[in-house]
Amino acid sequence: ISGSRRKPTFTSSFRNLAVGALEQKRKAAAHTDPTVTTAIAKYPHPPACNGTTKHSSNSWAFNKTLSNLIRKNILRFLDPERDISILKGTLKPGDIIHYVFDRQSTTNISENLYRLLPTSSPMKNQYHRRCAIVGNSGILLNSSCGPEIDSHDFVIRCNLAPVEEYSQDVGRRTNLVTMNPSVVQRAFQDLVSDEWKDRFLRRLQNLSGSVLWIPAFMAKGGEERVEWALRLILVHTVDVRTAFPSLRLLHAVRGYWLTNNVHIKRPTTGLLMYTMATRFCEEIHLYGFWPFPLDPQGRPVKYHYYDTLKYEYTSSSSPHTMPLEFRTLSTLDRQGALRLHTGSCDLDRGAQKDLG
């Protein structure tokens, strides 16, 4: 955390709400509570309980007081409205940028990137009552959660995940979507042929005015892929609003969670989006957050709902600590600060049915 920002700790009232209540329940719930089992802390096994929470889908109640406290504490570390993107007035073509996770390596602001920098925050003056953040876990398959996801006022998706062929389970609506540079290689074969360029272009065109959030300055190696994507956007006048996160964002988000004893190595895209969404969303619902290869009944769960990528976060070389993040989000779910959906959705009533 840079500048004169003071590193805050949770207020006593936050502790009473978010931590104290959990401690009081642990003795009674430890045998079924996935957030207190050491097995999940170390190994990728799913919680052996009904869904991620002990409450039924009808018993969850939004805790606005706690949500407001979380928002207030996060704002002491970062302002997501500002940090969501570097703005055009702060840089010029040719400026040197040091990568966030590799300070010895640099890149230059290209003409194309400069042209696509926003002149003001894409989230300026925005505030939504209900937001959905859609992760990419295979737990979404056969969930029928698409209509429920689309019913939210603002929908955030991760890593340019496909929606058209999975819309019954994941929905279609997108207001903001992230795109790591590696997506160009992993999902679109580095645009090696016209066919792959067309596929990538169609995916972008389907966004129809959404915010495309590209973490272009995190680590060396993706600059060429970012440039390919930006060139396509400009040449084909794709209707997207590009955003490039500030250089301080990831460290600020990590600092917030570390201060609150959540010892993550590097926040996942999902946790980043939740942290930022607290700024412009009142009530946040998470879908597709499930970092385990099995569901509670022991059935296989794909890492991503749309590809064959394997689970790799258990490796010591992995930058992420997904089970720890999941337990943290589960805690916040039980306290009513957010809603973590891991079951199927009722098409008639829009209610979640917990797994189990």
Domain range for 252 is 12-85+121-353
Q: Is residue 73 part of a domain?
A: yes
Dihedral sign of CA atoms 109, 221, 257, 21 in order: positive
Contacts of 285 (CB under 8 A, 6+ apart): 130, 131, 132, 133, 152, 338, 339, 341
The pLDDT of residue 220 is 85
Q: Is residue 267 part of a domain?
A: yes
Q: Is residue 288 part of a domain?
A: yes
Q: What is the mean pLDDT of the chain?
A: 84
Is residue 21 predicted with pLDDT exceeding 50?
A: no
Structure tokens, 32: 């079924």
The pLDDT of residue 111 is 97
Q: Is residue 1 part of a domain?
A: no
Is residue 163 predicted with pLDDT exceeding 90?
A: yes
Whether the Cβ atoms of residue 255 and residue 77 lie closer than 8 Å to each other: yes
Q: Is the model's pTM score more than 0.85?
A: no
Q: What is the mean pLDDT of residues 277-302?
A: 95
The pLDDT of residue 58 is 63
Is residue 42 predicted with pLDDT exceeding 90?
A: no
Q: Is residue 115 part of a domain?
A: no
The pLDDT of residue 101 is 83
pLDDT tens-digit map of 49-87: 333 444 455 689 999 999 999 999 999 999 999 999 999
Q: Is residue 227 part of a domain?
A: yes
The pLDDT of residue 309 is 85
Catalytic residue among 152, 285, 304, 320: 320
Q: What is the mean pLDDT of residues 122-132?
A: 97
The pLDDT of residue 59 is 87
Is residue 19 predicted with pLDDT exceeding 60?
A: no
Q: What total of structural domains would you count in the chain?
A: 1
pLDDT tens-digit map of 262-272: 999 889 999 99
Q: Is residue 110 part of a domain?
A: no
pLDDT tens-digit map of 74-83: 999 999 999 9
Query: Among all chains, which residue has been given the structure tokens 């062929």?
Result: 165
| Reported confidence tier of residue 353, pLDDT bands at 50, 70, 90 | low
Q: Is residue 108 part of a domain?
A: no
Question: Is 320 marked active-site?
Answer: yes
| Reported confidence tier of residue 193, pLDDT bands at 50, 70, 90 | very high
| Reported confidence tier of residue 47, pLDDT bands at 50, 70, 90 | low
Q: What is the mean pLDDT of residues 119-124?
A: 96
pLDDT tens-digit map of 323-342: 899 999 999 999 999 999 99
CATH of the domain at 49: 3.90.1480.20
Pairing of strands 352-353, 344-345: antiparallel
| Reported confidence tier of residue 322, pLDDT bands at 50, 70, 90 | confident
6 or 330, higher pLDDT? 330
Q: What is the mean pLDDT of residues 221-249?
A: 95
Question: For residue 178, which of 197, 163, 156, 147 has the smallest C-alpha distance?
Answer: 156
| Reported confidence tier of residue 102, pLDDT bands at 50, 70, 90 | confident
Q: What is the mean pLDDT of residues 164-174?
A: 98
The pLDDT of residue 239 is 98
Question: For residue 63, which of 10, 24, 22, 18 has the smallest C-alpha distance?
Answer: 18
Please give the share of the chain, as a percent, with pLDDT higher than 70. Answer: 78
| Reported confidence tier of residue 314, pLDDT bands at 50, 70, 90 | low
